[in-house]
């Protein structure tokens, strides 16, 4: 969901130009007329989730004036007005089954929105949700405008630390080390589908297990869970974090490892990585170097495990990135518990 509310993402599906007749309007209700006015044809593959979003907005007094598809993946992301963006869960049969993750994301986003955190906020004109309609789970966000400028690394660290500080008062419990345990569970279906060689699966398994054991022994708190650069938008309102669906309880070093991984390991841009960490610490955060190293290893294993799911047909560049991650993992010793 990295770019769900930016001007830089064009609609991925054209609007229908089917003319709307008087008979159409006589045979439809308010929500149907809204869809027709937006040029959305009936019985398309996206009809029901679009209806769910449109009818929910109408039920809360907001009439959509557009239907720009910003993303169509495991969630459908729609811009419905100048400021309103809907996100609808459409893939309920993938590796992440059900909608418990969506409810967690919603709770975290609402907690941060209420406290003025540097995040893309839930929309103020509707209840926070998540909403249920026509069998779909959905929520509503405020549209923000991205800018092209690169974020200043120290500001990246500062905004992440601000989110961490506010997350410490989150009343809802989050699952412990969830993305690590989820990735470990994912290895069996990857093996069944023949998506990795046995040696690669074993490499991922041993690093996930040893990293989880090491990270059990450091302080935990609510985290973003997937704090990579694609989930941080540089907008006209400043740097804003988004995509909280992987939120879990773990060490802050996990989020830091996620945001510096590419710079530190793939690009060997140690200056950028160090400035992000310095910005985090100058804002009041603390960093355990040993926990950070364990988290870098765990992050590489998690990213690798999810690669065949996220990129079923990777291009040459993505294949090369995966190979570099696996080679780096092979060079790393098994993690140990801090203090042992």
Residue 109's Cβ-count burial label (10 Å; 0-12, 13-18, 19+) is: buried
> What residue spans define the domains of the chain?
22-142, 153-330
What is the percent of the chain where pLDDT is above 70?
A: 83
Rg (CA), the chain: 21
Here the tokens at position 133 are 């309609």
Instruction: Please report where in the chains the tokens 């710079």 appear, as a residue.
Output: 263
Sequence-separated (6 or more) residues with CB below 8 Å from residue 155: 239, 279
- pLDDT of 183 reads 96
List the one residue out of 66, 58, 96 whose CA is nearest residue 226: 96
More confident residue, 273 or 334: 273
By DSSP bridging, strand 68-72 and strand 238-241 are: unpaired
Write out the two tokens for 18: 């089917």
- Count other C-beta atoms under 10 Å from residue 63's C-beta: 13
| pLDDT above 90: residue 158 | yes
pLDDT, mean of residues 180-188: 96
pLDDT in tens, 221-262: 999 999 999 999 999 999 999 999 999 999 999 999 999 999
For residue 154, the tally of other CB atoms under 10 A from its CB is 16
Contacts of 205 (CB under 8 A, 6+ apart): 184, 187
Task: Spell out the SS3 assignment of the chain.
Answer: CCCCCCCCCCCCCCCCCCCCCHHHHHCCCHHHHHHHHCCCCCCCCCHHHHHHHHHHHHHCCCCCCCCEEEEECCEEEEECCCCEEEEEECCCCCCCCCCHHHHHHHHHHHHHHHCCCCECCECCCCCCCCEEECCEEEEEEECCCECCCCCCHHHHHHHHHHHHHHHCCCCCCCCECHHHHHHHHHHHHHHHCCCCCHHHHHHHHHHHHHHHHHHCCCCCEECCCCCCHHHEEEECCEEEECCCCCCCEECHHHHHHHHHHHHHHHCCCHHHHHHHHHHHHHCCCCCCHHHHHHHHHHHHHHHHHHHHHHCCCCCHHHHHHHHHHHHHHHCCCCCCCCCC
Q: Produce one character per residue of 325-339: b if its CB has 16 or more CB atoms within 10 Å, e if not.
A: bbebbeebeebeeee
- % of the chain residues with pLDDT over 90: 76
CA 256, 98, 91, 191 dihedral sign is positive
What are 232's strand-pairing partners?
241
d(CA 78, CA 86): 5
Tell me the whole-structure pTM to 2 decimals: 0.84
306 vs 322: CA distance, rounded Å: 10
Residue 5 has pLDDT above 50, yes or no: no
Give the least confident one: 21-35, 51-65, 214-228. Answer: 21-35
Residue 284: the pLDDT is 97
Segment 297-303 mean pLDDT:
97
CA–CA separation, 224 vs 300, rounded Å?
17
CA dihedral 9, 10, 16, 22 (to 10 degrees): 80
Structurally, at CATH architecture level, domain 22-142 sits in: 2-Layer Sandwich (3.30)
Q: What is the pLDDT of residues 68-107, one digit of tens each?
A: 999 988 889 999 999 999 999 987 666 566 678 888 999 9
Give yes or no for residue 22 having a pLDDT over 60.
Answer: no
27 pLDDT higher than 70: no
Gap between the Cα atoms of 173 and 157, Å rounded: 25
Q: What homologous superfamily is domain 153-330 in, according to CATH? A: Aminoglycoside phosphotransferase (APH), C-terminal lobe (3.90.1200.10)
pLDDT value of position 335? 58
């Amino acid at each position: 969901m990295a770019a769900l509310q930016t001007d830089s993402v064009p609609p991925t599906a054209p609007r229908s130009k089917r003319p709307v007749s008087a008979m159409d309007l006589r045979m439809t209700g308010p929500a149907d007329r809204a869809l027709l006015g937006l040029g959305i044809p009936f019985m398309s593959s996206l009809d029901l989730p679009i209806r769910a979003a449109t009818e929910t907005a109408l039920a809360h007094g907001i009439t959509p004036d557009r239907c720009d598809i910003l993303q169509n993946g495991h969630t459908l992301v729609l811009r419905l007005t100048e400021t309103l963006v809907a996100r609808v869960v459409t893939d309920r049969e993938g590796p992440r089954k059900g909608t418990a993750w969506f409810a967690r994301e919603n709770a975290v986003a609402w907690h941060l929105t209420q406290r003025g955190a540097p995040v893309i906020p839930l929309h103020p004109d509707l209840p926070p949700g998540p909403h249920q309609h026509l069998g779909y789970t959905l929520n509503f966000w405020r549209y923000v405008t991205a800018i092209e400028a690169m974020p200043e690394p120290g500001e990246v660290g500062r905004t992440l630390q601000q989110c961490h500080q506010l997350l410490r008062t989150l009343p809802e419990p989050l699952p412990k080390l969830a993305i690590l345990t989820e990735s470990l569970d994912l290895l069996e279906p990857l093996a069944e589908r023949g998506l990795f060689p046995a040696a690669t699966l074993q490499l991922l398994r041993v690093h996930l297990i040893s990293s989880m054991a090491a990270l059990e022994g450091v302080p935990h708190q609510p985290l973003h869970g997937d704090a990579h650069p694609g989930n941080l938008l540089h907008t006209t309102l400043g740097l804003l974090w988004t995509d909280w669906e992987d939120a879990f309880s773990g060490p802050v070093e996990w989020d830091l490892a996620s945001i510096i991984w590419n710079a530190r390991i793939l690009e060997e841009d140690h200056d950028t990585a160090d400035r992000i960490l310095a910005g985090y610490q100058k804002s009041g955060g603390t960093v355990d170097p040993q926990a950070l190293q364990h988290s870098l290893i765990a992050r590489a294993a998690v990213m690798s495990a999810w690669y065949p799911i996220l990129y079923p047909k990777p291009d040459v560049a993505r294949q090369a990135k995966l190979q570099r991650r696996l080679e780096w993992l092979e060079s790393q010793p098994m993690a140990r518990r801090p203090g042992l």
